[in-house]
């Protein structure tokens, strides 16, 4: 990997020039970084929307255990990504697990807490 490559991706090159071609690559890099960053939020939205029906059908604990799959597979795709689409797929899986856990975990804590502490946890 040369000094100009960023993240191991040859098309993610850092340029220090003012030519039109360089500006086009810099714009593409910004769009790519924005896409990869925002796809996590889209996955979180999908996970939060689907978490309620999944936890009602299979139980809170089973839904949280199922979320562990997303927390294992998502980062694995991100770490081993060889293309932007693989990285985006890993990000959306990680986002799905995060969004789902943010909905299910507080409900599960409320369910397992003793009744005198249920409102405080």
Please tell me the predicted confidence (pLDDT) of residue 11: 52
Please tell me the predicted confidence (pLDDT) of residue 89: 95
Domain for residue 118, yes or no? no
Domain for residue 117, yes or no? no
Q: What is the pTM of this model?
A: 0.76
Domain for residue 121, yes or no? no
Please name the residues in contact with 94: beta carbons below 8 A apart, sequence gap of 6 or more. Answer: 40, 43, 70, 71, 74, 75, 78
Domain for residue 91, yes or no? yes
**Torsion sign, CA atoms 31, 33, 36, 40:** negative
- Our count of domains for the chain comes to 1
pLDDT tens for residues 37-69? 899 999 999 999 999 999 999 999 999 999 999
Domain for residue 25, yes or no? yes
Domain for residue 11, yes or no? yes
Q: In this model, does residue 17 exceed pLDDT 70?
A: no
Coil, strand or helix at 5 = strand
Q: Which domain holds residue 87?
A: 5-112
Domain for residue 53, yes or no? yes
Domain for residue 94, yes or no? yes
Q: How open is the CA angle 4-88-17, to the nearest 5 degrees? A: 25
pLDDT tens for residues 102-115? 999 999 998 888 88
Please tell me the predicted confidence (pLDDT) of residue 1: 44
Please tell me the predicted confidence (pLDDT) of residue 18: 56
């Amino acid at each position: 990997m040369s000094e100009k490559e960023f993240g191991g991706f040859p098309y993610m090159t850092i340029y220090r020039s003012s030519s039109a071609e360089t500006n086009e690559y810099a714009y593409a890099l910004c769009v790519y970084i924005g896409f990869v960053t925002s796809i996590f939020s889209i996955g979180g939205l999908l996970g939060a929307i689907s978490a309620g029906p999944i936890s009602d059908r299979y139980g809170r604990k089973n839904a949280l255990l199922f979320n562990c799959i997303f927390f294992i597979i998502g980062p694995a795709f991100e770490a081993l990504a060889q293309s932007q689409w693989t990285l985006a797929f890993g990000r959306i899986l990680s986002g799905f697990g995060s969004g789902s856990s943010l909905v299910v975990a507080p409900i599960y804590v409320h369910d397992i807490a003793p009744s005198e502490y249920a409102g405080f946890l």
